[in-house]
Structure 1
Amino acid sequence: MDNQQICNFAKYIYKWIYLSRMKPLNNNWFVRARLKSRHIPVLVALGETCNLNRAAEGLGISQPAISKLVKELEDGLEVPLFERHARGVVPTLYGEAVIRYARRVQTSLDSAFDEVIALRAGHRGHVRIGTILTPCADLLPELIRQVKQLHPNLELSIHTGSSRDLMTTLNDGELDFLVARFFADVGLSGMHFEPLHKEPLCVCARAGLIDQRLSREALHQADWVLPPSGSVLRYEFDALFQQKGMLPPSKVVNAENLLMVTTLLEHNNMLTVLPREVVAHYARYNMLAVVDVEAGIEEDLNRSLMAYGIITKHEDLLSPSAKSVLTQLRKIAQSL
């Protein structure tokens, strides 16, 4: 043999070994035995009744049809599944094993059907909600409480962030709907906005830090922890001074994370601006308190504040579970 023949022979041997190790597509016993879905309820019925006629009546088919289905399985498995007697049939050792697994299959199929029905009705699934800060203090906790009572198997994910970022995430299909402010200049089309409430802002600090009314000048000299420039809250804060011909305060720590903000307030003589509902939540635990400011300051702080609301995109394409949660959210928002 020349080198080329040796090479071809080696390739043939390698291919034969490789193919001999591959698992045939029909290696599963139920493929070889030609198991069909109608065999499952027959096995379960015979396991319960041990009688061909009663099993046939319960399944709504003829006794010869059941006998044929049993013979198909026995021929495919090459073992007897039942012993025939004058009063009925008795499962063999093989029959008991197959019946036991047939019951499991039927239970799994029943569970699958129940889950599909639950998904269609919105009782199960995964709903992803994007929200700004204020709804986290009141609206969203009440929504979650009611949804978990109505649909305990429903999974909810809450994503917080700025309205602009949340709108982009919604547009990418990573969220189902938002509770946020709507910005037309983001450049995203196909979104629908339902205004709900404004979130009045207030100046606050840790409880017990400030015991006197502060003027605008005193606020200008104070140390602050604020969200970064570009956010709605920071814009309103800066405008509080700019509309009076003043530069915004310069002693500012930029922090967006609420945990960082509250921790900085706890350990430093700093002020911040937060939605009043958020401050009320922390005030219940004696962590934050609203700072008393001169007349007109809070009005100026909230003069051009935008309302937040529900933002959806292609609501008709939402899953049943997302539609169900959205309906519940609208009901709660109307009652608050």
Structure 2
Amino acid sequence: MVKNPLPPEHILRRLLQKGRLRQFQMVLAVADLGNSHDAARTLAVSQPAITKAVQELEEVLGLAVFERHARGMRPTPMGREIVLFLRRIVATTGQFAETVATHHSTESLVVRIGAVAAGLNGVLAHHLPIFAEAHPQIRIRVDEIDGRQINTILADGEFDVIICRRQPTLPRPWDFTPLFWDEHAIIAAPDHPLVGRRGLRLDDLEGCIWMTPTTGVLALGLFEDLVVRCRNPGFCQIATRAPVIIRETLRQRRALAIVPLSTFQAELAAGTVARLDFPLNSPNAPVGLIACHEAMGAAALALVEYLRGHAAPEPAPQSP
């Protein structure tokens, strides 16, 4: 086995030349089951075939993926990272096969949607079931995406339509259409002592505990601007975008959080969180769709036309 460090381009060239999906599947089976015997039985291949697949991958990578012990094999520390990457490769291949199979069907159309949390809650949660009922022949796939990686996601070409906030720049020929204007607010558990009080002022927030927004979101700037002006603020060191964690943290810690209202529409409607009557002077941030008309199929075009037909009007500018 190669002992000297290998440059990334050397490893990539080896993988392209010698790496195989079936080999990756065998290695994953060993990682899951802990020995080549059970892996061979599960995949209906011979045990020597499993052993050979593991050895070939280790030779290609120039390092040990597994530690051998009396009862089988377990991934090395680096092997655990390799296994994670192999899972992604196999899973992505499965998605690719599903997409190809769908396009082979003459009775089905498909539209692939990537959406940030604001798009999922503020647009798709309401409109997508209605659209799907009106277009039963269209198969819809929706995945949540990271709004900080929009240009990379567009370059990958995985989605027909992206639902996200307006981006500073977009590669041509993609364009952005606003669908609604989101705003931020302070929320708390429904039994928080500030809930229900009208006309809250900065002094009313003295001594409150705050959840810190994650980096790269508009809420972080609003949070930093507000908290620096509060007296004796406390902090809960949980930074997350997950509504269920935010909701439970607000309840258990009696904390406050600054969030986009679109992300918490369901919770606000159900009464599991409540909005404080405090002015944030939050700018109206448009959430909309990004699409490329030059490469758009019939299914994506139907969805885009439907969403554009139900876009909310732009709100009037806020008074200074």
2:243 is matched with: 258
| CA 1:334–1:283: 2 relative to 1, 3 Å | closer
Matched, 1:325 2:310: no
Matched, 1:183 2:167: yes
Q: Percentage identity across aligned positions? A: 19
Matched, 1:267 2:252: yes
Contact 2:188 2:276 in 1 (8 A): yes
Letter in 2 for 1:223: I
Q: 3-state SS of the aligned residue for 2:310?
A: helix
Residues 151-197 of structure 1 deviation map (CA, whole Å, 9 limit, x = unaligned): 22422222234422234212311111122122225x74433112232
Q: Where does 1:23-42 land on structure 2 (aligned, <5 Å)?
A: none
Matched, 1:306 2:300: no
2:126 is matched with: 142
Contact 1:130 1:166 in 2 (8 A): no
1:321 and 1:225 map into 2 onto residues whose CA distance is 41
1:232 and 1:188 map into 2 onto residues whose CA distance is 22
| CA 1:289–1:147: 2 relative to 1, 3 Å | same
1:237 and 1:308 map into 2 onto residues whose CA distance is 20
Task: Tell me which of 203, 207, 211 is aligned to 1:225.
Answer: 211
| CA 1:224–1:155: 2 relative to 1, 3 Å | farther
Question: In terms of mean alpha carbon deviation, does 317-326 or 161-170 score higher?
Answer: 161-170
Contact 1:207 1:287 in 2 (8 A): yes
Q: Where does 1:153-168 land on structure 2 (aligned, <5 Å)?
A: 153-168=137-152
Contact 1:202 1:274 in 2 (8 A): yes
Matched, 1:276 2:254: no
Task: Tell me which of 246, 271, 274 is aligned to 1:286.
Answer: 271
Residues 286-328 of structure 1 deviation map (CA, whole Å, 9 limit, x = unaligned): 21111232xxx322xx0x453222212x322122111111111
2:152 and 2:233 map into 1 onto residues whose CA distance is 29
Matched, 1:174 2:158: yes
Letter in 2 for 1:320: A
Q: Where does 1:197-236 land on structure 2 (aligned, <5 Å)?
A: 197-211=180-194, 212=197, 214-219=200-205, 221-236=207-222
1:194 and 1:309 map into 2 onto residues whose CA distance is 5
TM-score relative to the length of structure 1: 0.53
2:192 and 2:233 map into 1 onto residues whose CA distance is 22
| CA 1:240–1:189: 2 relative to 1, 3 Å | farther
2:63 is matched with: none
Superposed displacement of residue 251, structure 1: 4.3
Q: Where does 1:7-86 land on structure 2 (aligned, <5 Å)?
A: none
| CA 1:334–1:209: 2 relative to 1, 3 Å | closer
TM-score relative to the length of structure 2: 0.56
2:67 is matched with: none
Q: 3-state SS of the aligned residue for 1:137?
A: helix
Q: How many residues align?
A: 210
Q: 3-state SS of the aligned residue for 2:238?
A: strand
Letter in 1 for 2:302: S
- Listed as ranges, the gaps of 5+ residues in structure 2 are 1-101, 315-320
1:228 and 1:329 map into 2 onto residues whose CA distance is 29
Superposed displacement of residue 272, structure 1: 1.1
Contact 1:204 1:271 in 2 (8 A): yes
Residues 135-163 of structure 1 deviation map (CA, whole Å, 9 limit, x = unaligned): 33342123212222122242222223442
1:227 and 1:155 map into 2 onto residues whose CA distance is 35
Letter in 2 for 1:228: T
2:271 and 2:175 map into 1 onto residues whose CA distance is 39
Superposed displacement of residue 273, structure 1: 1.7
1:37 is matched with: none
Letter in 2 for 1:269: R
- Listed as ranges, the gaps of 5+ residues in structure 1 are 1-111, 119-123
Contact 2:179 2:310 in 1 (8 A): no
Contact 1:229 1:235 in 2 (8 A): no
Contact 1:177 1:311 in 2 (8 A): yes
